[in-house]
Amino acid sequence: MFRGMRMDVMTQQGQSGYADQLAVEIGGKPILLRTQDAAFRDLLKKRYAGFVHPSGRSGFTFDVDVIRPERLVSEAEELEVWQDDGIWHLARGDFRAHWDPRVGRGRILQALSPYAIDSVLRIVHTLIQAPEGGFLLHGASAIRNGRAFLFSGISGAGKTTISRLAPPDSTLLTDEISYVRRDGEGYGACGTPFAGELARLGENEAAPIERLFFLAKGSENRIAPIKTPDALRMLLRNILFFADDSELVKMVFQSACEFLARVPAFRLTFYPDERVWDLIQ
């Protein structure tokens, strides 16, 4: 029912020029956001500090219309992401968006909410990365000695804890959503502004991924190998994936397999104090 709706509000409001624009660059992919709303621009600058450029190069552009007074802009109670004639549609109560990846342009209608634009950016990055062999992973990541380590797991597994314990000689890329990018024959991890319980933006840096850890809290610090099927199952469970689209499912599956063929995965059981980082070098 909802999927047949036209985005009439957006097409009406999107006719005039967009005075303010800035690019949010994550994973080396700048997304230009154009808006007429100064408050929204200020929100972007603050929320994505370190990932924002005044304008500059960008392969992707979104015109953003902010609804005032604030109200629901979609009938979708749960997030919906679908493709229609090559155009991606995204909808949730607080936003509606569409994006044509062929021309790299899209439009967002949303409330003045950081959560709406945050969700759109996460989804769009998963769609950008899927055909390139990368993905966004529910997990923390950090750089140490020039190499990146991923720490994935369900809520409560210890992502925030291990991020909080990270030593001064490490660079925290994120405590919540890791950005995994295919770099030639290997994979790189990039910082993201998608913060979790630490409420701290990651550093906008990148490094080759050395290892993937699936976290579990325990009474001692221990690293154990994981059988590939188990690692794949856990990895797939933690890759951010929003669209009900069979071709995308295949891409994500293929990406996860390729990743595990190149990056060793382990189970990291840890007692929550800083000594766990002795194992992560």
Chain contacts with other proteins (rule: CB under 8 A): 227-229, 232-233, 236, 246-247, 249-251, 253-254, 257, 260-261
Q: How many degrees, rounded to 5, is the angle at CA 67 between CA 61 and CA 71?
A: 130
The smaller minimum CB distance to other proteins, of residues 86 and 229, is found at 229
Q: Nearest approach, Cβ of 259 to other proteins (angstroms)?
A: 11
Quote the CA–CA distance of 101 and 166 in Å, as a whole number.
37
Residue 233 CB coordination number (10 Å): 13
Q: Which is nearer to other proteins, 3 or 275 (CB)?
A: 3
CB closer to other proteins, 87 vs 232: 232
What is the separation, in whole angstroms, between the first and last Cα of the chain?
A: 52
Q: How far is the CB of 198 from other proteins (least distance, A)?
A: 30
Choice between 209 and 276, CB closer to other proteins: 209
Helices 246-262 and 228-238, packing angle to 10 deg: 130
Considering the complex, what minimum distance in angstroms separates the CB of residue 237 from other proteins? 9
Smaller CB distance to other proteins: residue 121 or 128? 128
The beta-carbon contacts of 40-44 under 8 Å, at least 24 apart in sequence, are 40/64, 40/66, 40/112, 43/112, 43/114, 43/117, 44/117
Q: Which is nearer to other proteins, 18 or 187 (CB)?
A: 187
CB of 228 to other proteins, least distance (A): 3
- Our CB check for other proteins shows the closer of 173 and 251 to be 251
Least separation in angstroms between CB 135 and other proteins: 14
Cα 250–chain centre separation: 19
What minimum distance in Å lies between the beta carbon of 226 and other proteins?
10
Min separation Cβ 227 and other proteins, Å = 7
Dist CA 134 CA 181 (whole Å)? 4
Rg of the chain (C-alpha set): 19
State the Cα torsion 256-131-124-187 to the nearest 10°. 50
Nearest residue to 128 via CA among 255, 220, 276, 265: 255
